[in-house]
Amino acid sequence: MAKIVSNFFISLDGVVERPDQWHFPYFDDEMGAAVGRGVEAASAFLMGRRQYQEWAQYWPNHSGGEDADFATFINSVPKYVLSNTLTEATWQNSTLLSGEPEQVAARLREIKEQTDGKITMSGSATTVRWLLANGLLDELRLLVHPIAVGRGQRLFEETPTYPLRLMTHETFKSGVLNLTYAPA
């Protein structure tokens, strides 16, 4: 049975929005290796509508350069898209999961049972909150950056309380904390 694992770049004040504006000064070989290990362990990828639309527009046409390995991975791996507004998912190996929340949760449980390894996701605070609320998230991996962004969407805003248990931790030379939590 697969685990659903979520990965975030997150600031000290909990902001996950627009990491492209604050994350890159901290990206180094240590972080690259940690991100790479997460990708290598993925058997499938889970995403919400916004991420799907952005990535489906970009990655199928991007196969060269330093991102070639990730492009090969993301274009070929099975992808599951949570959305009630999309009518189809045409990107190679994509499956749209839509309908009533209970139906989508049941379908995702079936996918977890039929998949070995990890179903990985990157970003999408809304999806992570939904997964936690439905008991579907197995691991929450946070790369906590030593910066207070001050504004932007936070991972947990106006949500119920979710007790988490620290599974692993690592401190990078950049000051970034690599933390893995599981629901307690």
Mean pLDDT throughout 8-15? 93
Q: How confident is the model at residue 178, as a pLDDT?
A: 96
| Arithmetic mean of pLDDT over the chain | 91
Strands 42-48 and 79-82: parallel
Q: How confident is the model at residue 38, as a pLDDT?
A: 81
Q: How confident is the model at residue 95, as a pLDDT?
A: 94
Long-range pairs for 168-174: beta carbons < 8 A, 24 or more residues apart? 170/34, 172/26, 172/28, 172/30, 172/31, 172/34, 173/28, 173/30, 174/26, 174/28, 174/30, 174/31, 174/146
What percentage of the chain carries pLDDT values higher than 90?
61
> pLDDT tens digits for 33-47?
898 888 878 899 999
66 pLDDT more than 80? no
Q: How confident is the model at residue 170, as a pLDDT?
A: 96
Q: How confident is the model at residue 144, as a pLDDT?
A: 96
> pLDDT tens digits for 78-107?
999 999 999 999 999 999 999 999 999 999
Domain count, the chain: 1
Confidence of residue 64 (pLDDT cuts 50, 70, 90): low
Picking from 2-6, 28-32, 48-52, 64-68, which range would have the lowest pLDDT averaged per residue?
A: 64-68
Specify the CATH number for the domain of residue 176.
3.40.430.10
Q: How confident is the model at residue 77, as a pLDDT?
A: 92
**At 147, which amino acid appears?**
I
Task: Find the domain containing 34 and state its range.
Answer: 3-183
> pLDDT tens digits for 130-174?
999 999 999 999 999 999 999 998 988 888 888 999 999 999 999
